[in-house]
Amino acid sequence: MKLDDLKAVWKEEISYSVRMEDLSMTAIMNDVTRTKREVRLRDFWMIFALSAGALISVLFGWLAQEQVDWLTRLGIIAFVVGTAAVCVTLIRARRVARSDDWTLHSRIEIEIERLEKQSSLMNRVGTWFLMPMLIAIDLSSLGGYHARTGSYAPDAFGCVFYAVTAVFYGFTYWLVRREVKNKWEPLLGRLRRLLADLSATSGAQ
């Protein structure tokens, strides 16, 4: 093979490699953009649904009633406080501490921090969301049962209800953790490798 032929082959391989890197970076950025959009939609609907539920609970579960059992009031208060805490947690998780200096390096670092906070948030979903909501719902339902029957000991239907809610919340916890493992952690790994490659290239220069 002649030298000119080798040059042509090398040039084609280098061009192909650059195109593949561009395609890889484009794919990662598209995934990051889609993930940010999904987070915004998730936060909007969670905040809207919980706020509406808290307002309805206060208006119709407390203020519109002539007499409200203390346990029901405690459940409503727990739901309102839990809703406020969830809203603050969701909003704070979207903030990043890194400053943007309009370089690709800083942009990737910002996206890594953003995804790390979201990943950590969802890994702790049982603490900041599921457990407070489960306590609030169980207190409210037990308060309603006590108001109807005068007993704090739930009947068979109540026991089934609490068991079903516990199973549902446990399944939700597993589902969220599974999403983190299968979706968020791989994307984080790709971003970290991209940042490492970019840093290595900058260092070599």
Q: How much is the pLDDT for 32? A: 86
Q: How much is the pLDDT for 10? A: 40
Helix, strand, coil shares of the chain, percent, nearest 5, are 85, 0, 15
Which tops the pLDDT comparison, 178 or 205? 178
Rg value, the chain, Cα: 26
The Cα–Cα gap between 61 and 49 comes to 16
When pLDDT is averaged across residues 8-37 and rounded to a whole number, the result is 62
pLDDT at 134 over 60: yes
Q: In sequence order, what are the residues at sequence separation of 6 or more whose Cβ sits closer than 8 angstroms to the Cβ of residue 110?
A: 96, 98, 100
SS (H, E, C) 114-147: HHHHHHHHHHCHHHHHHHHHHHHHHHHHHHHHHH
Residues of the chain above pLDDT 70, percent: 84
Question: Per residue in 32-88, pLDDT tens?
Answer: 889 989 999 999 999 999 999 999 999 998 888 888 888 889 999 999 999 999 999
pTM, rounded to two decimals: 0.78
Q: How much is the pLDDT for 148? A: 82
